[in-house]
Structure 1
Amino acid sequence: MLTGALTSPGRGMFFSTRDLAPGDRVAAWERTLSQVFVNLEVAVDGDRPWAGELAAERWGALQIATEVFGPGTILRGAGSVAADQRTHILVRQQLDGDALLLQDGRMAELVPGRLAFHDARRPFRIVLPRRQRARILMMPRALLRLEEAQLSVLSGTVVDEAGEGAVALLLPSLCGLLEEVTRATTARREQLARVAAEILATVALEQVSRRPTSALWERITVSVRARLGEPGLAPQDIADQHGISLRYLHRLFQLHGTTVNGWVRMRRLEAARQELAQSGPAHRSIAAVAARWGFTSPSHFSRTFREAYGMSPMQWRSAAEADARSRC
């Protein structure tokens, strides 16, 4: 039975469906999950036996729960998101059995040793093919210190010890620390929970850094191409346009092997080179082409063009015209 609500640090609760009539279990389990986490819906196969157990405690901003449930499905649909304003981030760490977590078009296959982030602000589904046990951590989204665009990259992705970099080092420490929280004295649990939250934030940042969002990259590069003619176009303008921090913008371009200014400069040079290759009496002067593609100084344009292509803009135009005549 439900023995408490998470209203203050250290206050715990436990719930089990075992003493309930089979016909009452789904509604009671759904109600309990929605109270402890966020509004959720539960579905089970009526022909298969099941039971659910949930133990949870809150320490500071971090809530730690252990769920035993399955087979069944846990759903946070669009209606639940609209009706429930809680916007926490949840982390599912698989302890026994397996689970599928689906959010934002991604599917995280969870087995013991893996965890996945999911965002209560958007719909998600957790499919449990058999009875399983998992630890669920819930925290305010601000605790991860990530931009919204970064959080959308994070959701529905698998984190495990087989990863590279900091994740491979931090995940075992996080798992051990969470086990220690359950065994520690009351005086130490909140301190350990704070450390666990910091490790989670570091793991989340590392995970995001390794998975740049293709959709965001596409939106940024398309918009920048449309603004190449703006001489004053700066990284801060681009970041503001897309609602991300300047730091994240630079990190996104770094993950694609370039810099913001370097990428803009090369796109401007490519566009100018294409225009210079166009033949005909109506073509623009080299200075006009440079200005059209955001270069404020013709001499700087010529120098940059030569560095990139090994010839001056005039030489490139002459070569392109000669090639066009030879094909006539």
Structure 2
Amino acid sequence: MHASGPAQQVLTCGAAGPEAFEHWRALISDTFVPLTAVPTTDRPFRGELRVVTHPAVQLTEVRSHGQHVRRTRQLIAGSSEDYLLSSIQLGGRGRVEQDGRTAVLTPGAMTFYDSTRPYTLHFDDAFEQLVVQLPRRPLLAAAGVPDDGVHLTAVALEAGGPGSVLAGFFSSLALVHDRDPAGALQLSAHAPALLASALRLAAGQGAGPDDAGLARERVLAHLRRHAGDPHLDADAVATACHLSRRALFRLFEGRESLASALRRTRVERAAELLVAQPRRPVASVGTACGFAGEAQFHRAFRQVTGMTPAEHRAGTHGR
């Protein structure tokens, strides 16, 4: 990680010829750790990195044509980087090889790899993934796993499990940075604990004391995906997330309640629609965001934001 405070960069590469790909190799080496790479086809190459850096974690969305990427012993010997990285596959397929294992990544799955030992990343075709990068030693210590971490690299955590939960959390964290950098900074403090939970699962140690955070993020991700459903309630959420009602409500004890989280999620989506579609009737926006009626929408919007939907829309377009 190359920045000490909240920051965002979008880095692109798109052209034909070996010089274009060499530019890409330099971009990924500077963003992650020194790497060597080769494209998988002769067609014009295109890649994009969207890097969001917080003090606690670096998040990088990668969209690219196919390539094979290697971290070699020679590159390791010439650098001092000491990171643990996690790839969360968002689109396409990939393979991660390290420590004699291969993890196959399909959308929603994730795996870890260690910058202090050789690894190879294979992407035969175009792909999209989210790479989460943290200092290695503190993360391994937080997870309570051996310092070398050799037994947990290139272990695939399949879609539908922790990989999907973390993909939702970290992708949302990157988006929140655009709208509310201070809020994203506050949320990013949870990143090490969430990744430590996933590391314990990769190491085969089962649940740890912080793993309720993974379950809670899974619930919040479900709320974000289905907030527009007016019939979404505790029973539907518990069933979809494979939890009992009691376990579901326990996740929110001492925190924002499930009902409040759903209301806030719907209001946040409505606030975006009010700005993005300024001619759309306010009542239609409320319906699209899961509110049963216009009165309920106005009441919820005022409770969350302190203003009416119309005031929010007018204030935004008046700036």
TM-score higher than 0.5 here? yes
**Amino acid aligned to 1:109:** V
Q: Aligned in 2, Cα 1:70/1:189: closer, same or farther, shift over 3 Å? A: same
- Tell me, yes or no, if the aligned pair for 2:16 and 2:44 is still in contact at 8 Å: no
Q: Supply the distance in 2 between the matched residues of 1:114 and 1:22 (Cα, whole angstroms).
A: 33
> For residue 63 of structure 1, what is the aligned residue in structure 2?
58
- Percent of residue pairs bearing the same amino acid type: 23
Q: Which amino acid aligns with 1:156?
A: A
- In the alignment, structure 1 residue 106 sits paired with structure 2 residue 112: no
1:140 corresponds to which residue?
A: 135
| SS of aligned partner of 1:159 | coil
Mapping for residues 133-282 of structure 1, pairs under 5 Å: 133-141=128-136, 142-145=138-141, 146-148=144-146, 151-161=149-159, 168=161, 170-184=162-176, 185-210=180-205
Offset, 1:155: 0.6
TM-score, L = length of structure 2: 0.59
CA contact (8 A) 1:119 1:155 kept: yes
Number of the residue aligned with 2:5: 9
Contact kept, 8 Å, 2:76 with 2:117, in 1: the verdict is: yes
Matches of 1:161 and 1:97 in 2, distance apart?
Answer: 13
Task: State the one-letter code of the partner of 1:192.
Answer: L
Q: Which amino acid in the other structure matches residue 173 of structure 1? A: V
Counterpart Cα distance in 2 of 1:140 and 1:155: 15
Which residue, out of 71, 81, 93, partners 1:86?
Answer: 81
CA contact (8 A) 1:150 1:208 kept: no
What SS does structure 2 have at the residue aligned with 1:133?
A: strand
Determine which structure has more spread, i.e. the larger CA radius of gyration: 1
2:203 is paired with a residue of what secondary structure?
Answer: helix
CA distance in 1: counterparts of 2:190 and 2:163, whole angstroms: 13
Aligned residues: 200
Any conservation in 2 of the 1:63–1:138 contact (CA below 8 Å)?
yes
Unaligned residue ranges in structure 2 (runs of 5+): 207-319
| 8 A Cα contact 1:6 1:57, kept in partner | no
| Separation of aligned partners in 1, 2:42 and 2:168 | 38
Which structure 1 segments of 5+ residues have no match? 163-167, 212-328
CA contact (8 A) 1:181 1:193 kept: yes
Provide the TM-score with structure 1 as the length reference: 0.57
Give the root-mean-square deviation of aligned CA atoms: 2.0
1:210, distance to aligned residue in structure 2 (A): 4.5
Q: Deviations over 1:235-281 (max 9, x none)?
A: xxxxxxxxxxxxxxxxxxxxxxxxxxxxxxxxxxxxxxxxxxxxxxx
Matched AA of 1:175: A
